[in-house]
Amino acid sequence: MGEGMTQRPRVEWAPEMLRYDFGRGHPMAPDRLALTIDLAAELGLLEHVDLVAAEIADDELLATVHEPAYVAAVRRAADEGVRDEARGLGTADDPLFPSMHEASARVVQGTVDAALAVWRGQRTHAVNITGGMHHAMPGAASGFCVYNDVAVAIRAMLAEGAERVAYVDVDAHHGDGVQAVFWDDPRVLTVSMHESGRSLFPGSGHPDETGGAGAPGSAVNLPLPAGVGDAGWLRAFDAVVPAVVRAFRPQVLVTQHGCDTHGLDPLSNLRVSVDAQVLVARRLDELAHELTDGRWVAVGGGGYAIIDVVPRAWARLLAVAAHRDVAPGTTVPQAWRERVAQQYGREGPDRMSDVAEPTFRAWRSGFDPSDDVDRAIRATRSLSFPHLGLDVDHD
């Protein structure tokens, strides 16, 4: 570890983060964040991390990714209520709210601070569960995302000398905004494992999207058929992600942990358990320790089952980052469940897990051409692996 580096992870959090709020009835409710932090506190996890409050990113930092005219439009939307649907502002997905610029810029600063703390060797791990706004484009809001905190953070590390940054996105939706920003940049590998764009927004992320002319192989996309559960999702991860990340030899690993892959999530058609999500988080932590001297930046993302899924998934993500164990059979603390009942008039989950232990067949067990997941895996390996010097059949 570098000088001053510590295993105690940095977690970006302050109540001001809850101001990223599209309003009553919108799927991306800020309650999911408050419930996550409350659950982590009840589990004793916050005793093993350092909470740090982010400031608001300035326009100069935002302009490393976003067009100045777009930032100005976001400010007008926030301050004057001026809609600009051509820039995605004031749509059903991204309705206007008074603190739109300030709240979105604070999310950006949080992820940038997390990334630079890791890159500068001050921390091995850093987490921003409020981040992961992977759909935002340089000149437009999209899919509940106003500013692309991940892209700005990666650009900040590149500006400080990073030469190879790997970004892995396991949200149910394709990480199209991050891919678009780095499409032609060979210093950044973007890997997205998601539900196929044939059945889910944003409609992109097909296997033949492998990077621009100046960076062939810099994008890896693994679209999965609707209905995939733990076994297929974990098999797909095993078959693609470790190999391409190892081949890229990153200096730092950035990961997006949208938990909308869960079977209870209302905005996707996947059937993944919290336990499988946590297993993938552990595998990514292990990859960071194997390849990047532990440099790992994790962000949140999608997740719209705000009581039953998000708090458990992201509290356990914090546990993984802190190298603390939350056993599968752990009971959800009664105090947290009582607060849920009082606030929402319903019971919350009683266990931190969905299943005892998710299982899957490793890719080395062989390709099954009759299986939809295997065909999806094979398509991605066939189109992406040769660019990275990998053997389609054996690596």
Q: How confident is the prediction for the chain on average, in pLDDT? A: 96
Q: Are 228 and 268 in contact (CB under 8 A)?
A: no
Say which amino acid occupies 283: R
Q: What is the mean pLDDT of residues 305-327?
A: 97
- Residue 17's pLDDT band (cuts 50, 70, 90): very high
Length of the chain: 395
Q: Each residue of 234-270: pLDDT tens digit?
A: 999 999 999 999 999 999 999 999 999 999 999 999 9
pLDDT confidence of residue 180:
98
pTM of the model: 0.97
| Residue 355 confidence class, pLDDT cut points 50, 70, 90 | confident
- Binned at pLDDT 50, 70 and 90, residue 4 comes out as very low
Residue 3 has pLDDT above 60, yes or no: no
Domain boundaries of the chain, sorted by first residue: 10-388
- Catalytically active residues are 135
Structure tokens at 82: 């001026």
pLDDT band at 377 (very low <50, low <70, confident <90, very high): very high
What is the CATH topology of the domain spanning 10-388?
Answer: Arginase; Chain A (3.40.800)
pLDDT of residue 132 exceeding 70: yes
The C-alpha atoms of residue 336 and residue 280 are separated, in whole angstroms, by 26
In this prediction, residues 287-313 reach a mean pLDDT of 98
Q: Determine which helix (DSSP H) or strand (DSSP E) holds 11, and give its type and residue range.
A: strand 10-12
How far apart CA 63 and CA 65 sit, in angstroms, is 5
pLDDT reported for residue 5: 53
Strands 188-195 and 125-128: unpaired
Q: Check pLDDT > 50 for residue 87.
A: yes
What average pLDDT does this structure show over 91-102? 97
